[in-house]
Chain A
Amino acid sequence: MENFGYLFAAYTIIFAVIFIYVMFIWRRQQRLEEDLRGLSRRVDEVDRKAAIKSAS
């Protein structure tokens, strides 16, 4: 089993990097989803106000 350490290191790094990258994308996605929810709430509010105003 000579050099097993190298093999192990290579595969660990591959999966670690991919995992970190996925986490990074996922975190970003979470943040964006939050932003999106907040935004659509505000848009709805403004739309409703505009509707009330034009009705009155």
Chain B
Amino acid sequence: MLMVAALYMVFLYVPTEAAQGIVQRIFYFHVPCAWVAFAGFGLVAISGVLYLWLGQDVWDDLGYAAAEVGMVFCTLVLITGSIWAKPIWGVWWTWDSRLTTTLLLWLLYGGYLMLRAAANESPNGARLAAVVGIVAALDVPVVIVSVRLWRTIHPAVLVTKQGGHGLQDPRMVTTLLVAMAAFTVLFAWLLMLRFATLRMRARIDRLTLRLALAEAAAQDI
């Protein structure tokens, strides 16, 4: 519902931005994608801390789900950003600070997911993943600061991103807010879906164990 409203507003309601033309409309989905991707990665760290602290599998599964869904949106941010950059800046990619930061995040959490895939069967996997999730989150502020400085010291590399100051029309703000809300809901929904499959996986493991125990016990009699 919200999504439909957001789409309606993006394509019909909001006025076209003067400088960039129609392509600027990517903005309304691009930014919410970024927001939910960051929210997902933040959630990874929080659930990591909770897992190490409380030791409940629920937190581990939540962290995994958040990382995966966050990764999907992070990928979308990079793709849509690239598509937006081509007509406006004339290139698919520049080493602008925000782009670089996002790319690094993508690589970081890609590594996290690879670790999860590799450590899945290990009984330590959950703890290792929690630790790496926390370490990655600690890295994020340093990444942001250093990458930003890296680029501002080199002003040769173009343009800061438009939009932040470009929202002259109040309708643009409304549209962005609606899109934000829509994506937050979408994110939560995907997160729940993924989380549910992980919980089911855990249930299956428990049942398999019970079955193996019951069969072994039956042999003893």
Chain A residues engaging chain B, CB cutoff 8 angstroms: 1-4, 6-7, 9-11, 13-14, 17-18, 21-22, 25-26, 28-29, 32-33, 35-36, 39-40, 42-43, 46-47, 49-50, 53
Contact = CB atoms under 8 A, between A and B. Distances in A.
B200 A25 contact: no
Given A6-B87, A32-B197, A18 B72 contact: yes
A3 B23 contact: yes
B190 A21 contact: yes
A36 B203 CA distance: 8
Nearest to B193: A25
Q: How large is the interface on B (under 10, 10 to 19, 20 to 34, 35 or more residues)?
A: 35 or more
Nearest to A13: B79
Pairs A-B, 3 closest by C-beta atoms:
A3-B87, A46-B214, A10-B83
Interface string B73-93: 001100110011011000000
B interface secondary structure, majority: helix
B25 to A, nearest CB: 6
Interface stretch (B43-51, B112-120, B138-146, B204-212): B204-212
Contact of B190 (A22, A28, A33): A22
Nearest to B201: A32
Contacts of A14: 29, 33, 76, 80
A53 B217 CA distance: 12
24 contacts: A2-B21, A6-B84, A6-B86, A6-B87, A7-B26, A10-B26, A11-B26, A11-B29, A13-B83, A14-B29, A17-B72, A17-B76, A22-B193, A25-B190, A26-B193, A29-B197, A36-B200, A36-B203, A36-B207, A39-B207, A46-B214, A46-B215, A50-B218, A53-B221
Interface string B125-168: 00000000000000000000000000000000000000000000
Contacts of B215: 46
B80 A10 contact: yes
A13 B203 contact: no
Interface of B: 21-23, 25-26, 29-30, 33, 69, 72, 75-76, 79-80, 83-84, 86-87, 186, 190, 193-194, 196-197, 200-201, 203-204, 207-208, 210-211, 214-215, 217-218, 221
B142 to A, nearest CB: 29
Contacts of A32: 197, 200-201, 204
A6 B89 CA distance: 13
A23 to B, nearest CB: 11
B218 A53 contact: yes
Nearest to B196: A29
